[in-house]
Amino acid sequence: MAHYIYLHGFGSGVQSRKANYLRDRFGERGLNLLTPDLNLGDFTTITLSKQLAFLQANYGDTPCYVLGSSLGGLLATLWASANTNVQSLILLAPAFRFSESLVEMLGAEEMASWRHRGRRNFYHYGYGEELPLHYAFFVDACQQNENNLQRELPILIIHGKYDDVVLPQRSLEFAEGRPYVTVRLVADDHSLGNVLDYIWTETQSFWRI
């Protein structure tokens, strides 16, 4: 039996608004939406590689349909590139070119300070407080590239036109030359909090549930 899995974003968790909303909608259809905690018990030491290893160890042997939000969207794409059991993706404002986005957001001086100190505080919305994150997270993120996806599978991307965290252009660029990728631009920002019903409607249609 296939799994439906939701991957939350950076500094988020399994009780985020989108996670709760989608879990409830799936439940109404008699389906279980798995929402693994990608903080892995210790936000400070997470890396994308550790998160991918966790997903593979826990769900890699079963056919999966994966929803991913922001960094979770990047993780979903990276996982699909390595595991053919991932059948289809729905990506919500996926954090493509993530390491580049971090540099743009923080600036050269702050990045240098993070590297020198070895850790930096980030606000964690799931826990409601600032938590330290090792610089190894960034080093690892620099090695990850969504364009490593070489196989074809159905992918739907929903991205806000007014997203200033991850530019919608990055989703459009990813879709270029990939006819199996559909991009829907919506009138919202990075949170996509105003289009949850639309996301659910598109999810039902795309996955025929």
Strand stretches in 74-180, DSSP E = 86-92, 119-124, 129-134, 155-160
Residue 86 in contact with residue 152, Cβ under 8 Å? no
Output DSSP code: residue 141: H
The ranges of the chain with pLDDT < 50 are none
End-to-end CA distance of the chain: 14
Reading the block at residue 66, the tokens are 């994966």
47 phi and psi angles, rounded to 5 deg: -140, 160
| CATH number, residue 7 | 3.40.50.1820
- Residue 144 CA to residue 94 CA, distance in Å, equals 14
Reading the block at residue 176, the tokens are 């270029």
Range of the domain at 147: 3-207
Residue 99 in contact with residue 138, Cβ under 8 Å? yes
- Residue 209 CA to residue 204 CA, distance in Å, equals 5
Q: How many domains does the chain have?
A: 1
Query: Can you give the pTM of this predicted structure?
Result: 0.96
Point out which residues pair with 130 in neighbouring strands: 123
Position 1 scores a pLDDT of 85
